[in-house]
Amino acid sequence: MNRVLRIVFSRYGMIVIILVLVLGVIALAQTREELPLDGSDAGSSGVDGEATSEAFTEDDGLATEACDGEDCYTDAELPQEALNRASAFAEAWLNPYGYGPDGWHDSIAPFLTSDTADLMEGVDPSTVPAEERTGEPTASGSKVAIPMDTGTLTLTMHEGANDWTSNGWLVSAIDWEQL
């Protein structure tokens, strides 16, 4: 036992322990899943770590689903209820009450499909690139565009259920177009 302790606490043993810890941290950092709108891009932060609009100019790839089958709606077919839900989501998305990440997620989750809610978990609400809505929502197929002060929020609407809504219109994808 003394021999093992002597090896572990020798300079070579300490080097091995430190090396294992560093490699473990690197492995954990590489497996972290990047989320849209999470502000994790080092080049996208301004002074004091605030998110800048540069982080939102690239396509996040969330609103790329094909529209086939009965889940698709023409402009005339998307009901007012879907527009109302999209509008309510946009208001919660702007975080008017200044919630932190958990509270903000709890406020937007009832409007999202379960998969989209999972993707938005852990997103920092300070990365939302707008402060106020500037117009009324307009439908185009299954998508609803909502004008904001710095761009357009585009939501893909899907009829379904989640943990909070038994059956209704939910946001299945979120896309942002910078002005």
DSSP string of 19-35, one letter each residue: HHHHHHHHHHHHHPPP-
Q: In this structure, are residues 55 and 44 in contact, taking their beta carbons and an 8 Å threshold?
A: yes
Q: In this structure, are residues 149 and 130 in contact, taking their beta carbons and an 8 Å threshold?
A: yes
Residue 165's pLDDT is what?
79
Residue 172's pLDDT is what?
94
Instruction: Count CA atoms within 13 Å of residue 16 on its CB side.
Output: 7
Residue 45's pLDDT is what?
45
Residue 39's pLDDT is what?
47
- Given a cut of 80, whether residue 86 has pLDDT beyond it is yes
Two tokens, residue 57: 């100019």
- Given a cut of 70, whether residue 134 has pLDDT beyond it is yes
Most confident of 44-48, 146-150, 158-162: 146-150
- Given a cut of 70, whether residue 62 has pLDDT beyond it is no
Residue 13's pLDDT is what?
84
Q: What is the mean pLDDT of residues 18-29?
A: 85
String of b and e for 123-146 (b: at least 16 CB within 10 Å)? bbbebbbbeebeeebebeebbbbb
Nearest CA-CA partner of 103 in 84, 89, 122:
122
- Given a cut of 90, whether residue 36 has pLDDT beyond it is no
Q: How confident is the model at residue 164 (pLDDT cuts 50, 70, 90)?
A: confident
111-128 confidence digits (pLDDT tens): 999 999 999 999 999 999
Q: How confident is the model at residue 76 (pLDDT cuts 50, 70, 90)?
A: low
- Radius of gyration for the alpha carbons in the chain, expressed in angstroms and rounded: 22
- Given a cut of 90, whether residue 1 has pLDDT beyond it is no
